[in-house]
A and B are shown apart, each in its own frame.
Chain A
Amino acid sequence: QKEVEQDPGPLSVPEGAIVSLNCTYSNSAFQYFMWYRQYSRKGPELLMYTYSSGNKEDGRFTAQVDKSSKYISLFIRDSQPSDSATYLCAMSAGGYQKVTFGTGTKLQVIP
């Protein structure tokens, strides 16, 4: 079983929809949680970065972490065609530990 599980999709939604992307994990030592967006033929770019449990909002993006359930989510409000990309969750125990990634969810926002 992988340390981080993420539904690969693809997920197809109409423009303006609210998108929910999720990851589950098994390592209770993880305390830093990130979401990356990766466009085709590009490297991942950091979207959201949170520490421990709770919510964090940045524009149309909201990240939620529930450490008790080992479950993290990324919500995208008013989705746009430009949001079409692969979204990767990532997490780390901190210190100098490696960052572990999910396999990514491919999102397509249809105009």
Chain B
Amino acid sequence: KAGVTQTPRYLIKTRGQQVTLSCSPISGHRSVSWYQQTPGQGLQFLFEYFSETQRNKGNFPGRFSGRQFSNSRSEMNVSTLELGDSALYLCASSLEGGLGSPLHFGNGTRLTVT
């Protein structure tokens, strides 16, 4: 069974630009979560989608948004990029997203903002 696929693997953007990251979950998984990983803060929860609806949201500004499609694939968008947005963005899928069902991560998209 194929794992979680994230594209692109690397991105370099300039301050003020916007970026869209893509995530394809494991087949059959209906929940997709997004995390930001930085050396100082570790993994910070961005949001979780289930059946095309945002079910949970972390403490990030509105510049960070996402969506999920009917095939469970998900995209994350960051507008008006800031230098502090440079991080590894990880997508994780799980069967239902509830009752503590384990997360399965992709290898991430490394975003660098210059």
- In the complex, chain B residues whose CB is within 8 Å of the CB of A42: 107
Chain B residues with Cβ below 8 Å from A43 are 4, 6, 90, 92, 105-108
How many residues of chain B get a CB closer than 8 Å to chain A's CBs? 27
Cβ-defined contact, A45 with B105, below 8 A: yes
Nearest CB on A from B46, distance (A): 10
A31 to B45, CA, bound (A): 18
CA A45 – CA B102 in complex, angstroms?
10
* Smallest CB separation, A34 vs chain B (Å): 7
Pair B98/A95 contact, Cβ less than 8 Å:
yes
Q: Which residues in window 14-36 of B have CB below 8 A to A?
A: 33, 35
In the bound complex, do residue A44 and residue B42 qualify as a contact, i.e. CB atoms below 8 Å apart?
no
B56 contacts partner chain A, Cβ-Cβ < 8 Å: yes
The reply to whether the CB of A21 lies closer than 8 angstroms to some CB of chain B is no
Interface residues of B in 56-114 (CB under 8 A from A): 56, 58, 90, 92, 97-100, 102-108
Query: Chain A residues near B56 (CB, 8 Å)?
Result: 96-98
* Interface bin, chain A: 20 to 34
With A44-B90, A98-B56 known as contacts, the answer to whether A51 contacts B100 (CB < 8 A) is yes
The contact of B41 among A90, A95, A100, A103, by CB within 8 Å, is: A103
Residues in A with CB closer than 8 Å to B48 are 96, 98
Question: Which of A49, A92, A96, A103 is in CB contact (< 8 Å) with B55?
Answer: A96
**Residue B43 interfacial (CB < 8 Å):** yes
Known: A43-B108, A88-B42, A88-B43. A99 touches B98 (CB 8 A): no
Interface on B for A, CB 8 Å cutoff?
4, 6, 33, 35, 40-43, 45, 48, 50, 55-56, 58, 90, 92, 97-100, 102-108
List the 3 closest A-B pairs by CB distance, nearest first.
A32-B100, A43-B105, A103-B42
Q: List 18 A-B contacts (CB under 8 A).
A: A32-B99, A34-B102, A43-B105, A44-B90, A44-B105, A46-B103, A49-B100, A49-B102, A92-B100, A95-B98, A96-B50, A96-B55, A98-B56, A98-B58, A100-B45, A102-B42, A103-B41, A103-B42
**Chain A interface residues (CB < 8 Å from chain B):** 31-32, 34, 36, 41-46, 49, 51, 88, 90, 92, 94-104
